[in-house]
Amino acid sequence: MTATNRGARVVPAVYGRTPVAPDPAEDVARAAELRATHSPEALLELAARHAWGSGGEDARMRRLAWRAMAKRFGNGVRIGRATLASHIETFEFGDGVFIGDQAILQGRFDGRFVIGDYVWIGPQAFLDARDLVIEDYVGWGPGARVLGSQHSGVPADIPTIQTDLIIEPVRIGAWVDIGVNAVIMPGVTVGKGAIVGAGAVVTKDVAPFSIVAGVPARFVRWREGCGPETQA
């Protein structure tokens, strides 16, 4: 531990450095059994029955139900309390994924949502997961949101909500850190190792290893030891 100015402390990171053990074989088998014997609606109901529990059995049942529904489900995944999701059958989870309490993951029946290894998604996050890829070792701050779709607004003589929905892919590179309450807009790519400041609204692509902040988000500086040469 190293002391810094103004009373701050620096301590070693824990999440992302702890090895993930394989899930128990009986849990994997039980999830396969649930997938074979339960409808998607029944699996959602099972997850809902255990959504608010803090105990180990509730957490286990949430994992089992989500594993049974998901397209791919890695080891050591943790699903927080009161987490809501739609179209989990399109989700692909890596190892060591953490989903915080009350997060909302909005999929689509023909969509794609990929979460890499050691991704940490904070409480009350909202992810429009219709065409979303989050690569390995990403930190997603509490309350941060990503939007992957918007209405065209055309024609103007009908309500906007009745106009066509445009779904645009969003890509979050490995090692990215998304600040608390930041917003990532449709079609944006955030490059590897970039940092998005708290409350930023990201409307265009973010260069790898850069730091952006503000509304709309603008380039602030390169991360220490990085620069334009890191873009190659």
- Give the integer Cα–Cα distance in Å for 148 and 45: 27
Cα–Cα distance measured from residue 167 to residue 230, given in angstroms and rounded to the nearest whole number: 30
Active site residue 151: yes
Residue 130, both tokens: 């219709």
Catalytic residue among 38, 50, 87, 151: 151
Q: Contacts from 209-215 at CB under 8 Å and sequence distance 24+?
A: 213/179
Compute the distance between CA of residue 114 and CA of residue 53 in angstroms, rounded to an integer.
26
Query: How many residues are recorded in the chain?
Result: 232
d(CA 88, CA 44): 9
Task: Read off the tokens for 64.
Answer: 């089992």
Catalytic residue ranges: 151
